């Protein structure tokens, strides 16, 4: 069972409007007992940082579908570091295999691709929060 304490902020950065995945993940995580703060579309890294502080979040989840992950995900990691927030960033969406290594190197804690099950998603969040994330 999920730790009921885990609270995650979910957001879409930038202009991309593909929110089906993030909406489904929000429901999956809520059903699994997580507390989800759904920020929705058109968020900036600053907006996500301020929500993470306000909500005392344990993790940040981003959904990226527009090949912008190599630009936006590292910026999110950096923005949290700059705000002294030591919480993991989890990325879901269309991420080619070749980009997984560089994203991990940039500090992304976990990467979830298309077809990840509800159990995969919940486990990835738990592991990331516990600091033992695996891709």
Partner 1 sequence: MSDHTTAGDEYRDAWQAAYEAAQLRDTAFSTMSGVEVDPVYGEGPYPGQYPYTRGIHASMYRSRLWTMRMFAGFGTAEDTNVRFKELLRNGGTGLSTAFDMPTLMGRDSDSEWSLGEVGRAGVAVDTLADMEDLFADIDLSGVSTSMTINGPAPIVMAMYIAVAEKTGVERAALSGTIQNDIFKEYQAQKEYIFPPRPSVRLITDMMRFTSAEMPRWHPVSVSGYHIREAGSTAAQELAFTIANGFAYVEAATAAGLDVDAFAPRLSFFFNAHSDFFEEIGKFRAARRIWARWMKERYGAEDPKSHMLRFHTQTAGVSLTAQQPRNNIARVATQALSAALGGTQSLHTDSYDEALALPTEEAARIALRTQQIVAHETGVTNVADPLGGAPYVEWMTDEMERQAEEVFAHLDRLGDGSILEGVYAGIEDGYFVSEIAEASYRFQREVNSGQRIIVGVNAFTEGNEDSEQNLLRIDPGVEDLQRKRLAAVKSDRDDTAVDAALARVRADAADPGTNLMPAFIDAVSAYATLEEVVEALESEFGRYTEKAVI
- Chain positions contacting partner 1, by CB under 8 A: 14-20, 23-24, 26-28, 30, 36, 38-42, 66-68, 70-72, 75, 94, 96-98, 113-115, 117-119
Nearest CA to 15 out of 41, 46, 48, 50 is that of: 41
Whole-number minimum distance, CB 124 to partner 1, in Å? 15
Whole-number minimum distance, CB 128 to partner 1, in Å? 20
Residue closer to partner 1, measured from CB, 67 or 85: 67
Neighbours of 5 (CB within 10 A): 10
Whole-number minimum distance, CB 86 to partner 1, in Å? 25
**Apex CA 131: angle with CA 32 and CA 75, to 5°?**
95
Whole-number minimum distance, CB 52 to partner 1, in Å? 15
d(CA 59, CA 63): 13
Residue closer to partner 1, measured from CB, 50 or 117: 117
Residue closer to partner 1, measured from CB, 19 or 127: 19
Looking at residue 33, what DSSP letter applies?
T
d(CA 85, CA 77): 10
């Amino acid at each position: 069972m999920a730790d009921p304490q885990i609270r995650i902020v979910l957001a879409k950065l930038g202009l991309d409007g593909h929110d089906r995945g993030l909406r489904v993940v929000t429901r999956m995580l809520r059903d699994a007992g997580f507390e989800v703060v759904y920020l929705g579309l058109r968020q900036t890294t600053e907006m996500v940082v301020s929500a993470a502080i306000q909500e005392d979040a344990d993790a940040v989840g981003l959904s990226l579908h527009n090949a912008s992950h190599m630009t936006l995900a590292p910026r999110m990691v950096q923005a949290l570091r700059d705000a002294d927030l030591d919480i993991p960033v989890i990325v879901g969406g269309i991420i080619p295999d070749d980009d997984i290594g560089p994203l991990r190197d940039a500090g992304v804690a976990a990467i979830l691709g298309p077809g990840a099950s509800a159990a995969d998603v919940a486990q990835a969040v738990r592991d990331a929060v516990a600091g033992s994330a695996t891709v």
